[in-house]
């Protein structure tokens, strides 16, 4: 690969914590589910990465199939059975022929040990030429720099462990050593290159284990300490739902099943601020009691009232209160995300819309 790929520093890792893998129910674990190439050049041509799967079960494991999201990505994988304790490899090559654009591709992996597929991602930004680090990494934690404040969100089943990664940079004139403190329970972090040499990059791998008391959208936090200087903290978001992968189709069908009279409610156009209240009516057409683990709202102007359990065949409702004075002028849309105990609808999205004059 040409020197344009100087941003990818893959030196020997010194972890700041014990590395963790993404565990899959049934006896498999991946060393990563996301591979970030960072910034590359169109002139670099195809770029490749590997995902290592370990058979952590007691029976032979087979990678049945790997389906790519588009023809721009080629994939190969271990075809023979993977014995307990042994490893297999999924190799992906992004052709890098789509021009200077960001890319985010998926690999859908079907394993013999799991009823649901595993989603792997490879992403990066292809450019005509690579910009200086200072122009690409603008969110500063001392000399440690990130491209943005946000981390890609992880989606997990309860009790599952999953990893993501971002590329970080050292903008300083000397190497930096980074450690992390004040980590939320369930979060671990490691750098694959630590200390990070001056004007070089490293991969920051974050791993979240979804505890039994976490539902829906949850924030995990940590504070980086750069060369023994404590920095401001950052947050990583993960969405956690109930794990139904061990249920048969018949068992899923026999569970609770929410049905809503309306999935979108609208309030009348308003010129003055105030609070409006809307009511979502829901029924349970399933065979077991419906429970809402958590209701998340994507706008602080809205709050959700108490949501009661709904017995099989029963009806219920709950309210959403919107402070219209906290909304912006024009069309507004608020999304309410319910995390449920329904195998058929573990996550339900509802919406409130309205116009502020």
Mean pLDDT of the 76-81 span: 96
CB 284 within 8 A of CB 335: no
- Best CA proximity match to 267, nearest among 253, 278, 279: 278
The gap from C-alpha 163 to its chain's centroid, in whole angstroms, comes to 8
Q: How far is CA 255 from CA 244, 314, 334, in A?
A: 10, 14, 29
| H-only helix segments in the chain | 133-136, 249-253
Q: What string of DSSP letters covers 126-141?
A: EESSPPPHHHH--EEE
Mean pLDDT of the 16-43 span: 74
**Rounded Cα gap, residues 271 and 238, in angstroms:** 37
Mean pLDDT of the 8-32 span: 55
pLDDT digits (tens, 9 = 90+) for 149-191: 888 899 999 988 888 889 999 999 999 999 999 999 999 999 9
**Rounded Cα gap, residues 81 and 222, in angstroms:** 40
**What are the two backbone dihedrals, phi and then psi, of residue 165, each rounded to the nearest 5 degrees?**
-155, 155
3-state SS of 142-168 is CCEEECCCCCCCEEEECCCEEEEEEEE
pLDDT digits (tens, 9 = 90+) for 237-280: 999 999 998 889 999 999 999 999 999 999 987 767 789 999 99
**Rounded Cα gap, residues 262 and 264, in angstroms:** 6
**Rounded Cα gap, residues 22 and 271, in angstroms:** 50
Dihedral sign for Cα atoms in the order 316, 304, 289, 157: positive
**Burial (0-12, 13-18, 19+ Cβ within 10 Å), 250:** exposed
Dihedral sign for Cα atoms in the order 300, 301, 302, 303: positive
Confidence of residue 21 (pLDDT cuts 50, 70, 90): low
Confidence of residue 20 (pLDDT cuts 50, 70, 90): very low
User: Phi-psi category of 138—alpha, beta or left, where left has phi over 0 and alpha has psi -120 to 50?
Assistant: alpha
Count of other CB atoms within 10 angstroms of residue 28: 24
* pLDDT score of 281 more than 50: yes
pLDDT digits (tens, 9 = 90+) for 210-228: 988 899 999 999 999 999 9
Residue 183, pLDDT score: 97
């Amino acid at each position: 690969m040409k020197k344009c790929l100087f941003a990818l520093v893959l030196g020997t890792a010194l972890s700041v914590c014990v590395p963790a893998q993404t565990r899959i129910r049934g006896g498999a674990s991946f060393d990563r589910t996301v591979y970030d190439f960072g910034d590359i050049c169109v002139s670099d041509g195809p770029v490749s990465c590997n995902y290592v799967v370990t058979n952590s079960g007691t029976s032979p494991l087979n990678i049945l199939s790997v389906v790519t999201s588009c023809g721009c990505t080629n994939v190969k994988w271990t075809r023979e059975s993977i014995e307990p304790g042994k490893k297999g490899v999924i190799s992906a090559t992004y052709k890098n022929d789509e021009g200077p654009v960001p890319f985010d591709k998926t690999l859908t992996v079907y394993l013999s040990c799991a009823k649901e597929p595993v989603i792997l991602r490879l992403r990066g930004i292809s450019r005509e030429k690579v910009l200086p680090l200072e122009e690409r990494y603008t969110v500063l934690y001392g000399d440690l720099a990130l491209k943005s404040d946000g981390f890609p969100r992880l989606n997990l089943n309860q009790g599952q462990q999953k990893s993501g990664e971002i590329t970080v940079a050292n903008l300083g004139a000397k190497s930096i050593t980074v450690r992390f403190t004040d980590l939320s329970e369930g979060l671990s972090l490691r750098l694959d290159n630590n200390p990070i040499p001056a004007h070089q990059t490293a991969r920051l791998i974050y791993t979240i284990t979804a505890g039994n008391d976490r539902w829906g959208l949850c924030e995990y936090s940590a504070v980086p300490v750069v060369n023994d200087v404590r920095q401001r903290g950052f947050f990583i978001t993960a969405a956690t739902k109930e794990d139904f992968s061990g249920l048969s189709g018949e068992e899923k069908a026999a569970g609770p099943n929410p049905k809503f009279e309306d999935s979108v409610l609208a309030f009348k156009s308003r010129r003055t601020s105030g609070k409006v209240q809307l009511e979502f009516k829901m029924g349970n057409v399933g065979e077991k009691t419906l429970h809402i683990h958590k209701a998340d709202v994507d706008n602080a102007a809205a709050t959700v009232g108490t949501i009661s359990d709904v017995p099989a065949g029963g009806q219920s409702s709950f309210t959403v209160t919107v402070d219209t004075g906290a909304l912006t002028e024009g069309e507004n849309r608020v999304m309410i995300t319910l995390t449920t105990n329904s195998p058929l609808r573990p996550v339900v999205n509802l919406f409130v819309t309205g116009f502020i004059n």
